[in-house]
Amino acid sequence: MLFALIALPFAAALALMLAPRAGRNLSAWTVGLAALAGLAILFVLAPAVFGGEVLRARAPWIEAIGLEFFIRIDGWAWLFAFLVLGIGALIVLYARWYLAPEDPPRRFFAYLALFMGAMLGITLAGNLLLLIVFWELTSISSFLLIGFWGRRHEARAGARMALAVTGGGGLALLAGVLVIGHIVGSYDLDLVLASGELIRSHPLYVPALVLVLLGAFAKSAQFPFHFWLPHAMAAPTPVSAYLHSATMVKAGVFLLARLHPALAGSTEWLLIVSAIGLSTLVLGAVAAVFQQDLKGLLAYSTISHLGLITLLFGLGSPLAVVAGVFHILNHATFKASLFMAAGIIDHETGTRDLRRLGGLYAAMPITGTLAIVASLAMAGVPLLNGFLSKEMFLAETLAFESWPSYQLAVPVLAVFAGICSVAYSARFVHETFFGPKGHPPKTPHEPPRLMRVPVEILVVLCLAVGILPNLVVADLLALGAGGVLQGPLPDYHLAIWHGFNWPLAMSAISLAGGLALYAILHRRGIARRIDLLSRGKIAFEGIVAALIGLAQRVTRTLETGRIQGYLLWLLAFILLVGASPFVDLAAPLSTKPAQPAGPMAVGLWLLIVAGALTVTVAYRRRLVAVIAMGIVGLGVSLVFALLSAPDLALTQLLVDMVTTVLLLMALRYLPAISPPEPERLARWRDGAIAVAAGLGTTAIVYMVLTRPHPSIAEYILATTMSEAGGANAVNTVIVDYRGFDTLGEITVFAIAGIVIYALLDRVRLTALTPFAAKGPAPHSLLLNLCAQLILPLAVAVSAYLFLRGHNAPGGGFIAGLVLAIALILQYIAAGSEWVDERLDHDWNRWIGAGLLAAAATGIGAFAFAHPFLTSSTPHVHLPLVGEIHLASAMGFDTGVYLVVFAACLLMLAMLGKVSRWEARD
Amino acid sequence: MSAPLPPLVDAVVAALLVFGGAFALVGAFGLAKLGDFLKRLHGPTKVTTLGIGSILVASMLWFGLRGGAPPAHELLITLFVFITAPVAAHMMVKGAMAIDDSTKPPPPPERPHDAG
Amino acid sequence: MTAAVLPWVLAMLGAAIFLALYRLVRGPGLPDRILALDTLYVVTTALLIALGIWLDSGVYFEAAMIIALLGFVGTVAFARYLERGDVVE
């Protein structure tokens, strides 16, 4: 049941993605039902949780890194999940009426469900790594939601900023969690919460704390990361109402509370958390007064209230924690209703600009009344829920003991923030609903009935909590706070009237001061003239621009367009890495005598050396160098043949042939003589590096070959028949033992082919070759006949090599190359147009088919309850060809065949296309 | 492989091998020694015909007469070489003619004009 | 007897390879080098068959067959490049 709880929203998201025609109602119902079902499950679980039980459900995930799918529900998790789902259900109802007909509802509600699931995951995760997973998921899904109106610039910018800030915070949090895991030895929340002493006394405590706090503060829009939140107001209003009241930004304070037993209680915690919370509280409150956008005002007010909650958790006393939890609840209710009210106003008037609104009370009395009540809660007026938690907050600021000046500053600034909050609440109400009539684009009227229902429910809750706290909320609060503290609750009682005391006086000062402040600002029109936007955006954009600039500079420095430069880096790095084992010079170069070199070996060695030297001497004359490279290729394949590796010899020969043709096609666009190297010094340097790399490779090979080492070869040779059902060990290694490697390799090969396609698709180059075509395209009759004669023969040879590859030299790779070369011959003989007319030359599709065939074979092994890519095998005997291995490996080899063949021809076709462009011009 | 060859066949195989090897050597020597491209072209043609041919026949006898499979490989190789070698030579001459006028045959002698 | 002459045959083929190599390195013209490379391939075919006899093994046939069938594609490509400055038109 616990897993069902977390799976519900994701299932809803998935269902919506698969239902192409879901309209507004169906989409809303799907997600709404998921939320309601989740709530129902929560109610079923409630007796146990309220009874003090902690519910757990576990499923293994990646055990090697300590990641477990562990759902853990204690009081705090239950309370927060209730908040997420409850507000979520109301938001769904609201959004159903808010969305315009042209907004795609399916996409919106799928994102919303995704976000709801991620948020639920954060609250219920019992493993810190699992929590990180869901944390990142909220960052991503909130990005999608904020950028929902992706055609608007500010929506894109706001979404990007939110993702960068909260995602960056997520990285810090991940690092912090890893440190905690290192300290505790587990990511299990039960263990972590029980290890508070251990964590706080560990030398790595401060780094862990700072990293976790970075993550939480970035998410909860605490100073100095607060700037992303106002820009996220570009989202549709239901999203703002959800993200900024109950969920996204609350994730940060949720985490502060969650890890309270593990991290809190130290001086560092107190200093950092309370100071950040205090500055955010004050800054947000001041900025909120000077906003012209209705949602902007609410956004800064949210920042301020989050600061208040952070400050409470920072103060660290159990009572402060209770107050913090209480304020989380209260803020969620009144802020969600305010955002929705703002959305209704925007929806019905067409603007959110305070300067254009006014006098709306007459047009929308019910919405007005609701918004006014919620604003009073925000301002902390008695008989409303905001008053109760604010009172507790003020009491805590007074009870706080620290250095004298700080101890004084906290309550004073708290009162100042209270004054501001009353002022912006008053401004919100007054300039929207009263005063002179504004000039909104649309004629205002009440919204559809059902759109108002969520607001009504929330406002009633505000009142109920405010008037009858003990009846309505006391149990919930005790449950949540108990979950946070993981221990006994402090002594407190909820009441509207505590007698005449300091907190009451401070509330009174806030109220009176706030009203006075607003009166002054309003009369002079100051609030309307100043638009206090955060400087954070400028800083953020500056940092982003600087980073991009840096990246561009690095790219320009490294990416010179000269292959010599790239090779220099590459070889230098290889030398560095490759040389490190040689630092131990005491190691003998060889530990067993080398085999004597026969005349054949010496001859081949001379052949290859002569070829390599010719290439080196002639390298500036490119065509000569390409010809001379043929010597080396031939020599190497002879070496393979002599060392009894016919498969390798074949592969080498064929690869050499393809390479030659492709190189020649590229040579057309290069001058016949490459330009001289610029400097003598650079030449010597390059030469030295090349020689060092060559000698180093030789030394490594020599050392490997001349010492006894355990080899897997015996095992493979002994088992190739029984395990892989093939006598040719080279082929069984390719398609069976190392089949996964091969799958990776052909994927890389396919990617290379597609990259060439992408790079050359629209390229036009000027031919620089001195061998210019004279006259019309030649059609050598002899060559044409020969090519047409060769093709069927090559197809037969290719099939032959392919079929018997499992038991004798051959296989998909080799057979694919044979077919490719035969077709290349057709291209050479008859020209590309002639061949393309007669052949399905959509090589990309061939490559895709090959990859699919290989992967499908691998997956097919699952059907027989074997691991990925296991082969197994009936044998068939065909005349002439011999024993055939009709194994699943055959399907895999077909994939290899197709990819190799098609990628070769794709490269050829793309190089050929460049010259066809040219011919057309 | 199985039984040894009868002595006479063994001698024939040996002779064919030496013959083929010698022709390959001679052909390559011609390639290295002769004066210009068109002359050099003659050398390798000996390798592809008599050289490879003799060795292939030797191989056919060697593997075929000792109870093995029919010499399909050798026949195929013979076929392939005989199809491809002339084409390669033909194309090389065309390539040479394209970049070097001295390799082109002289133009046909001008026909004397009939006066009147 | 075959066994006795085979090393000499291999030596002759080896010498042929080096003579072709000489021509490839010396040139002088591009057609000469291409011809030399083609000869290298052809002699290698012969060498592989002779090796098969010497080692009494059939595993070299595929390589020999591939060279015989497709070895000339490189030569044709080079020749076509000299002729037209392009391989595939």
In b/e form, how buried is each residue of C77-89, taking b as 16+ CB within 10 angstroms? bbbbbbbbbbbbb
* Residue A874 predicted with pLDDT over 60: no
Q: Name the A residues in 762-781 with CB < 8 Å from any B CB.
A: 771, 774, 778, 780
Q: What is the pLDDT of residue A583?
A: 64
Domain boundaries, chain A: 269-531, 596-665, 723-921
- pLDDT (tens digit per residue) in A712-731: 777 777 777 666 666 777 77
Which of A771, A780, A793 is facing B91, going by the closest CB pair?
A: A780
Interface residue of A769, A789, A881 to substitute, partner B, most B CBs within 10 Å: A789
Q: Identify residues of B whose CB sits under 8 angstroms from chain A CBs.
A: 72, 79-80, 83-84, 86-87, 90-91, 94, 98-99
In b/e form, how buried is each residue of A474-487, taking b as 16+ CB within 10 angstroms? bebbbbbbbbbbbe
Q: Verify whether the Cβ–Cβ distance C9 to B103 is below 8 Å.
A: no
pLDDT band for A120, please (50, 70, 90 cuts).
Answer: very high
Residue type, A202: H
pLDDT band for A173, please (50, 70, 90 cuts).
Answer: very high
Nearest Cα of chain A lies from the Cα of B9 at a distance, in angstroms, of: 27
Q: How far is CA A304 from CA A257, A288, A755, in A?
A: 18, 8, 51
Q: Residue C76: beta bridge partners? A: none
Say which range, A465-469, A517-521, A883-887, has the weakest mean pLDDT.
Answer: A883-887
CA distance A127 to A119: 15
* Angle subtended at Cα A806 by Cα A802 and Cα A810, rounded to the nearest 5 degrees: 45
In a domain, C70, yes or no: yes
Helix spans in chain B (H): 7-33, 37-40, 42-46, 52-64, 72-99
Q: Name the B residues in 9-38 with CB < 8 Å from any C CB.
A: 10-11, 13-14, 17-18, 20-22, 24-25, 27-29, 31-32, 37
Chains in contact with A, where contact requires at least 3 CB pairs less than 8 Å apart: B, C
Radius of gyration (C-alpha) of chain A in whole angstroms? 36
Tokens of A496: 């509207």
End-to-end C-alpha distance for chain B, whole angstroms? 81
Task: Of A363, A367, A359, A362, give the one whose Cα is nearest residue A342.
Answer: A367
Residues 6+ apart with CB under 8 A from A323: A312, A389, A392, A393, A395, A396
Q: Judge whether B95 is closer than 8 Å to chain C, CB to CB.
A: yes
Burial of A597 (0-12, 13-18, 19+ CB in 10 A): exposed
Burial of C30 (0-12, 13-18, 19+ CB in 10 A): buried
User: Quick one: closest CA in A to B73, which residue?
Assistant: A797
In a domain, C89, yes or no: no
In b/e form, how buried is each residue of B18-47, taking b as 16+ CB within 10 angstroms? bbbbbbbbbbbbbbbeeeebbebbebbbbb
Task: Of A803, A812, A808, give the one whose Cα is nearest residue A726.
Answer: A808
Q: Residue A200: beta bridge partners? A: none
- pLDDT (tens digit per residue) in A451-505: 888 899 999 988 888 888 888 788 888 888 888 888 788 877 777 777 778 888 8
Sign of CA dihedral A444, A450, A456, A458: negative
* Residue A249 predicted with pLDDT over 50: yes
Q: What is the pLDDT of residue B59?
A: 84
Q: Judge whether A852 is closer than 8 Å to chain B, CB to CB.
A: no
Which of B79, B87, B94 is facing A786, going by the closest CB pair?
A: B87
Question: Is the pLDDT higher at A245 or at A80?
Answer: A80
* Residue A662 predicted with pLDDT over 70: yes
Whose structure tokens read 């068109």?
A: B38
* Mean pLDDT within A317-324: 88
CA distance A35 to A25: 15
- pLDDT (tens digit per residue) in C6-53: 888 888 888 999 998 998 888 788 888 888 998 889 888 888 888 888
All residues of chain A having their beta carbon less than 8 Å from the beta carbon of residue B90 are 780, 782-783
Q: What percentage of residues in chain A have a pLDDT greater than 90? A: 18
pLDDT band for A81, please (50, 70, 90 cuts).
Answer: very high
Q: Verify whether the Cβ–Cβ distance B84 to A880 is below 8 Å.
A: no
Whose structure tokens read 């250095």?
A: A403
Quote the ipTM score: 0.94
Instruction: Please give the DSSP secondary-structure letter assigned to residue A68.
Output: E
Q: What is the pLDDT of residue B1?
A: 46
| Segment holding C80, helix H or strand E | helix C61-84
Q: What is the pLDDT of residue A835?
A: 80
Q: Three-class SS of residue C69?
A: helix
Which range marks the domain in which residue C8 is found? 2-84
* Residue C69 predicted with pLDDT over 80: yes
Instruction: Please give the DSSP secondary-structure letter assigned to residue A234.
Output: G
- pLDDT (tens digit per residue) in A237-248: 889 889 888 788
* Residue A882 predicted with pLDDT over 70: no
Residue type, B4: P
* Mean pLDDT within A513-522: 88
Q: Judge whether A701 is closer than 8 Å to chain B, CB to CB.
A: no
Q: Cβ distance A907 to A844 under 8 Å?
A: no
CA distance A550 to A642: 53
Task: Of A273, A270, A292, A290, give the one whose Cα is nearest residue A281.
Answer: A273
CA distance A787 to A784: 5
Half-sphere exposure of A744 (CA within 13 A, CB side): 4
- pLDDT (tens digit per residue) in A757-811: 888 888 777 777 777 666 666 677 888 888 888 888 889 888 888 887 766 777 8
Q: How many CB atoms lie within 10 A of CB A751?
A: 13
Q: Cβ distance A730 to A647 under 8 Å?
A: yes
Tokens of C31: 């057609």
Average model confidence (pLDDT) across chain A: 84
Q: Verify whether the Cβ–Cβ distance C69 to B48 is below 8 Å.
A: no
pLDDT band for A276, please (50, 70, 90 cuts).
Answer: very high
All residues of chain C having their beta carbon less than 8 Å from the beta carbon of residue A778 are 83-84
Instruction: Please give the DSSP secondary-structure letter assigned to residue A293.
Output: B
Q: Cβ distance A270 to A396 under 8 Å?
A: no
Q: Name the C residues in 27-86 with CB < 8 Å from any B CB.
A: 29-32, 34-36, 38-39, 42-43, 45-46, 49-50, 52-53, 56, 58, 61, 64-65, 68-69, 71-72, 75-76, 78-84
All residues of chain A having their beta carbon less than 8 Å from the beta carbon of residue C76 are 783, 825, 828-829
Q: Residues A557-563: contacts with CB within 8 Å, 24+ apart? A: none
Q: What percentage of residues in chain A have a pLDDT greater than 70? A: 92
In a domain, C23, yes or no: yes
All residues of chain A having their beta carbon less than 8 Å from the beta carbon of residue B87 are 782-783, 786
* Mean pLDDT within A126-149: 92
Q: What is the pLDDT of residue A866?
A: 59
pLDDT band for B8, please (50, 70, 90 cuts).
Answer: confident
| CA A766 to mean position of chain CA atoms | 42
CA distance A806 to A799: 13
CA distance A295 to A302: 10
Instruction: Please give the DSSP secondary-structure letter assigned to residue A875.
Output: E
Q: What is the pLDDT of residue A785?
A: 86
Helix spans in A679-773 (H): 680-705, 713-724, 729-732, 739-760
Count of A–B CB contacts within 8 Å? 22
CA distance A556 to A549: 10
Q: Cβ distance A42 to A5 under 8 Å?
A: yes
All residues of chain C having their beta carbon less than 8 Å from the beta carbon of residue A793 are 69
Q: What is the pLDDT of residue A394?
A: 87
Q: How far is CA A295 from CA A240, A534, A592, in A?
A: 9, 15, 80
CA distance A504 to A411: 13
CA distance A289 to A262: 37
* Mean pLDDT within C59-65: 82
Q: Cβ distance A897 to A812 under 8 Å?
A: yes
- pLDDT (tens digit per residue) in B29-84: 888 888 888 888 888 887 778 888 888 888 888 887 776 666 778 888 888 888 88
Residues 6+ apart with CB under 8 A from A627: C24, C30, C33, C34, C37, C78
Q: What is the pLDDT of residue A838?
A: 83
CA distance A427 to A354: 9
Q: What is the pLDDT of residue A174?
A: 94
Query: What does chain A come to in residues?
Result: 921
Q: Cβ distance A335 to A306 under 8 Å?
A: no
Instruction: Please give the DSSP secondary-structure letter assigned to residue B103.
Output: G
CA distance A386 to A327: 7
Helix spans in A580-674 (H): 599-617, 622-642, 646-667
Number of separate domains in chain C: 1
User: Quick one: closest CA in C to A795, which residue?
Assistant: C69
Instruction: Please give the DSSP secondary-structure letter assigned to residue C1.
Output: -
* Mean pLDDT within A116-126: 92
Q: Judge whether B55 is closer than 8 Å to chain C, CB to CB.
A: yes
Q: What share of chain C is helix, strand, coil (3-state, %, to 5)?
A: 85, 0, 15
